[in-house]
Amino acid sequence: MPKTNDSLHDFHFVIDLQLQKQLMTQQVFPGTKSLSGIVVKILQQLYPCLEKEHFSRSQRYSRYELVTPNMTVERCKVHAYLPPDLYRRLKLLRRVC
């Protein structure tokens, strides 16, 4: 975990290796050099859409689906360090489920 801010939340998940490579090479967010920083920026941009879908879709009962069911795809673990406000907003969405 970064030493700069102890209040950051370590959000961990798995993505396929090809997606990781694309995120790191596309320069979607100039000046953002780490995968963690890119994921935080994406979640900040997507939050309004996630919130809208959450409140307008049917209950999924915390069933997570693989992005690709192909189990031969190489995957990697990712740690994204979320600012407290973003973490709390995402957590509230999950609690309402």
Cα 19 to its chain centre, rounded Å, is 13
* Position 1 pLDDT exceeds 50: no
**What is the tens place of the pLDDT at every residue in 65-81?**
666 778 888 888 999 99
pTM for the structure as a whole: 0.69
Q: CA 40 to CA 34: how far, in whole Å?
A: 10
Q: Identify the band that residue 93 occupies on the pLDDT scale cut at 50, 70 and 90.
A: confident
| 3-state secondary structure (DSSP) of residue 90 | helix
Q: CA 10 to CA 54: how far, in whole Å?
A: 23
First to last CA, the chain: 29
- Positive or negative, the CA dihedral 42, 44, 47, 48 is negative
* Position 26 pLDDT exceeds 80: yes
